[in-house]
Chain A
Amino acid sequence: MSLVAQIVDTGDVLMTIGASFAAGLSVALVSSLGIWGGAKYVDYSQDGRGVAAALSLAVGILGLLATLGIIIFGIVLMVSK
């Protein structure tokens, strides 16, 4: 075990695993919420439900902005080393 620990930088490997999970899942989550918001906005608008449509649109826009934010943050983080 100690030999493996000497050869493998477990800290970097674990950080890679953690960062991959965090980035991959957070992008999937916020972009899906963005798509949900956009699709619901169309449906609610057609039904004449103004408040629900506005709230859905806000979720959609926030999801889109969060997706872009995570992508930019990821690139900046990679460049920063």
Chain B
Amino acid sequence: MDIHLILVIVVVSALAFDYTNGFHDTANVVATSISTGAASPKAAIAFAAILNFVGAFISIEVAATIASDVVDQSAISGPGALNVVFAGLVGAITWNLITWYFGLPSSSSHALIGGIVGAALADSGTQAIETAGLVGKVLIPAVVAPILAFIVAALAIGLAYRIVQNLRPGPVSRGYRLGQIASGGLLALAHGTNDAQKTMGVITLALIADGVLPVGSDPPFWVIFSAATAIALGTYSGGWRIIKTTGMRIIKMDPAQGFSSQGAGAAVIMASTHFGFPLSTTHVINGGVMGSGVAKRVSAVRWGVAGNIVTAWVFTLPAAAIIGAATFGLTELMGGASIGPIVISVVAVGLIVIAFVKRARRTEVVDVQTEAA
């Protein structure tokens, strides 16, 4: 009975994480379409939400990697196994909220993997970690993918400029804006495919740990459907506030750059998804944007932002792992049954509400000061 209560808490936490993932990443997916005027914010977000939902059904390769290639399913099965998954999710959500509060760019995907790895290490030591899977399927692609998106976008925009350089700018801009409807849609589809699967993988891992599914199982349909719904709802509801901020900060791009960066990002994410690599879609999309910017003018890229992304990348995995491990330790201190996750969930919800209220007040003050200036 206790175990099943924890399972419910874990599934709800995982779906909450998925919702915040969609909420957090909307701007990455639609900002270029909006900033170049290819689509209105309302249409772009609704389109992205629908394609995020559809994308979640396309593949389960990434879910399989999360469920079986990061931690050893058999090593973490047992009475405390669900607490490992729960603690990992708390590590990811906490790190996401900390970075969101301080405005640091971070990867939800790396936070999730870091949290799970940290909690599994605290539970069973290094034998619980699938080192080959973690390095080969997570860490190496995490480094390669943003660089790859950067290079592909830079070459793509170079090619595009070479072909259309002698044409009148009006028809060219109209053409690429039209193209951005396709490239933006493809990016949203790719984003839904890669990111929703991470939640599917975690829920599947929890179901295996609880004995509901046998070791090596694929995600059941209800897991795929609920993860797809959560990320789509997050994308739709979260977009408005974040778009407002991102729309003002984003580099001024022309439609050809927007098209190239979206196309490069979608190509890298889709190819990686095919091989089951769980990427940070945020880093890939930012890599594409920077690549299309640097091809026009090196100074067009905000290298300070690029530096922040690298810094956040370095810290995200270990920080989420430490929080995951500490959370697992707390659940064990409280007896290892469902009481730990219940207490931690209540405290976490309280802290989240306080953080949101404080952040909202701070934003209001900044808005008033900006208007006064």
Contacts and interface: CB of A to CB of B under 8 A. Distances in A.
B182 A13 contact: no
Interface residues of A, number: 38
A29 interface: yes
B263 A28 contact: yes
A39 B164 contact: yes
Contacts of A19: 267, 271, 274
Interface residues of B, number: 48
A6 B131 CA distance: 11
A78 B193 contact: yes
B157 A28 contact: yes
A8 interface: yes
For the residues of B in contact with A, the DSSP-based class is helix
Interface in A1-27: 6-9, 12-13, 15-17, 19-21, 23-25, 27
B189 interface: yes
Given A8-B136, A16-B271, A23-B267, A35 B171 contact: yes
Nearest to A15: B275
B159 A8 contact: no
For the residues of A in contact with B, the DSSP-based class is helix
B275 A34 contact: no
Contact of B136 (A7, A16, A34, A75): A7
Contacts of A43: 168
Nearest to B176: A35
B61 A9 contact: no
A75 B188 CA distance: 13
B136 to A, nearest CB: 4
B182 A81 contact: no
B156 interface: yes
A71 B186 contact: yes
Interface of A: 6-9, 12-13, 15-17, 19-21, 23-25, 27-29, 31-36, 38-40, 42-43, 67-68, 71, 74-75, 77-79, 81
Interface of B: 58-59, 61, 131-132, 135-137, 140-141, 144, 148-149, 152-153, 155-157, 159-160, 163-164, 167-168, 171-172, 175-176, 179, 182-183, 186, 189, 193, 256, 259-260, 263-264, 267-268, 270-275, 277
